[in-house]
Amino acid sequence: MNETKYKNLTLLKSSENVYPETPEEATLEVFDNQYANREYWITFDSPEFTSRCPITNQPDFGKILIKYIPAKKCVESKSLKLYLFSFRNHNTFHEEVVNRILDDLVKACKPRKAIVIGDFNPRGGISIKVEAEYFADEM
């Protein structure tokens, strides 16, 4: 591994996983996009996402799909996995989850475009699907 090129990727180098308790404690690490002159999509699929209802404290299960076109930086996947894991005991509504993930992704890597989709399992006979988008040229 090129130590200089990837020196800021501390989570990937670590042999021990420290699981953050909250999204505030989690760190989304990034690395330089070697193809910043090209538009291409990166897609992350997290089929076992868990958070908690802020009212009942019951677990909510769903799938999170993250798609983005990077600009100068890319998100490192292990840090994203640990970040998403940090929602496991976090009390929040589905709409907040999706928009929070999008905001944190944009803050970390400033992509050209990004889409976050949360497809949550039914609860009380109804499922919820939330989609949030970011386009750099509109911001």
What are the residue numbers of the active site? 53, 60
Per the CB < 8 A criterion, the answer to whether 84 and 23 are in contact is: no
Picking from 112, 100, 107, the residue whose alpha carbon sits closest to that of residue 49 is 100
Distance set, CA 74 to CA 40, 43, 79, 131 (Å): 11, 11, 11, 21
3-state secondary structure of 28: coil
Residues in the chain: 139
